[in-house]
Amino acid sequence: MKNKKSKTGFLVLAVLLCLGIVWVCTITGAASVSISDANRILLNKLFHLNVSLEEISKGNITIIWNIRFPRIILGFITGAALAVSGAGYQGIFKNPMADPFVLGISSGAALGAAVGIVCHFTFRIGVFNSTMLLAFAGSFATLFLVYSISRVGRRVPVATLLLSGVAINSTLSALMSFIMMMNKQSMDQIMFWTMGTLNGKGWNQIAAVLPWVLIGLVIMLLSCRELDVMLTGEETATQLGVNIELVKRKVLFASSLLTASVISVTGIIGFVGLVVPHVVRLLTGPKHRRLLPVSMVFGGAFMVICDTAARSLTTSEIPVGIITSICGGPFFLYLLRKSKKGGGVV
C-alpha cells in the first residue's frame, strides 16, 4: 500500500520536476529571446495553440524550436540513457568502476567515427549520416567481439567479460589514436567528436536515437527484478529461477544499445553514466526497481541542466562533459562523505 502510494507520488513529482527543468532551460540561453516570446513559440509549436508568432523574428523561432528545445530533449534522452546504462553495467559487473564504456563500446564507436571522418564518407541512411552509422556499427562490433572472446562454452563469466572489455578498450583507443596520428587533418575533428557535445544536434538526432533508447530503457526496466536477484550472487539467482546468462545478454545488449545509440550521435560524454548511478544508489539503496527509474530521471535532468550551463555560461560552448564533472564530482563527494556507511555500496 504505502509502497504504491509513494510510487505514484514519486512519478508525479518526477514528471513535474522534469517539465519544470525543461521549461526553465528552454527560456535560458546565450541568444536573448525574451521569456514571453519563448513561451509563445513553445505554446504554438508544442500544443498547436493559436498563439500568433508574427511579431517574433524567424531567427528566434528557429533558435527556440529548432535548436534549443530539441537540444534539451536530446540532452534528457542522453542523460537518462547513459545513467541507466551505467547502472546496468554496474549491476551486471558488480563493480563500482563500471561505466557505460566499460566494454569498449565507446572506443568502438570512436574508432568507427574516426574511420568515417578520415575516409570522408558521405553516404547516409535516413536521418543517419555516415559517422553516426559507423560509430554505431563500431560499438556493436566491439560488444560482440568482447562477448565472444569472453564466452566459455555457454557461459560468459563476468570477470572475463570485464577484463576483455578493459583490454579491447585500450586496444581500440590506441587504434583510434593511431588513425588520428596518421591523419593530422582529421585529428581535431576526431578529437572533437570524442569530446561529446549536444551542440548542433536537433530533431534529426532525436529521431535517430529515440527508438533505440526506448527499446533499451524498456528492456532495462523490465529486468529490474532479475538484476536485483543477480546482485545476491549468480548461483543463488539460478536457484531462484533466473536464467542468468539470458539476463546478462539482455542487460548487456540493452545497456549497450542505450550507450551506442546515444554516443554515436553526441560523441563520448563521460561521468554521467559512471557517477549518476552511484549518487542515486546512495539515496535509494541497491534495489534496481528504484535505482533504474530514479537514475533515468536524475541522469536526464542533470544532463539538461549541465548542458544549459554549457551553452549559456560563456559565449563559446563548454563541452558538456566538463560541466557535468566539475559540478557533479564535488556533489557526489559531498554525498559520499555524508552517507554514514561510507559508501560501501556496489
Q: Which residues bind a copy of itself (CB under 8 A)?
A: 95-98, 102, 149-150, 152, 157, 159-160, 162-164, 166-168, 170-171, 173-175, 177-178, 181, 195, 270-271, 274-275, 278, 316, 318-319, 321-326, 328-330, 332-333, 336-337, 342-345
Given the complex with other proteins, which of 82 and 242 has the nearer CB atom?
A: 242
Question: Residue 132: how many CA atoms within 13 Å on its side-chain side?
Answer: 18
- Please, what is the minimum distance in Å from the beta carbon of residue 16 to a copy of itself? 29
Single out the residue of 286, 327, 335, 339 in contact with other proteins (rule: CB under 8 A): 286
290 scored as a contact of other proteins (CB under 8 A): no
Query: Binds 27, which of other proteins, a copy of itself, none (CB < 5 to 8 A, cut-off by type)?
Result: none
**Cα 146 from Cα 256, distance rounded (Å):** 12
31 scored as a contact of other proteins (CB under 8 A): yes
157 scored as a contact of other proteins (CB under 8 A): no
Site string for other proteins, 317-346 (x = CB under 8 A): xxx--------------------xx---xx
Residue 115 sits at the vertex; the CA angle it makes with 112 and 120, to the nearest 5 degrees, is: 125
Q: H helices of the chain, where?
A: 2-26, 35-47, 58-61, 69-93, 105-119, 130-150, 158-182, 184-194, 203-222, 224-231, 234-239, 244-266, 272-284, 288-312, 320-338
Contacts of 50 (CB under 8 A, 6+ apart): 44
Measured in residues, the chain has a length of 346
CA proximity to 150, closest of 136, 137, 167: 167
Residues making contact with other proteins (CB under 8 A): 29-32, 57-60, 62-63, 66-68, 70-71, 94, 122, 129, 131, 181-185, 187-189, 192-193, 197, 199-205, 222, 225-226, 228-229, 231-233, 235-236, 238-244, 285-287, 311, 314-319, 340-341, 345-346
